[in-house]
Amino acid sequence: MSTHQLNAQNLLCPMPVIKTQDKIATLASGDILEVSCTDPGVLSDIPAWCRINGHKLLHSEQSDRIIKLTIEVIHENDR
């Protein structure tokens, strides 16, 4: 179980979602991914993507222009 970072700043949706999706595909269940973004669209898109794909959004926060989302990876076989 480890924590990983993804910088998706200055990318517009849906690119941060695609980057999150592709990064999570390389991680193991139980890993934590912290994504930082600037497009406010991620506040709806990344949680929606997590719900659809069964991963757990642990936290989201917005300060100034930076939005941070923390996701727990849960792959299908580990549910």
Contacts of 63 (CB under 8 A, 6+ apart): none
| Helix or strand holding residue 62 (H, E) | strand 56-63
Q: Contacting another protein (CB under 8 A), which of 27, 29, 36, 43?
A: 43
Separation between Cα atoms, residue 36 and residue 7, nearest integer Å: 5
Catalytic residue among 9, 11, 13, 47: 13
Nearer to another protein, 18 or 58 (CB): 18
Q: Among the candidate windows 27-35, 46-54, 55-63, 66-74, which touches another protein by CB under 8 A?
A: 46-54
50 is catalytic: no
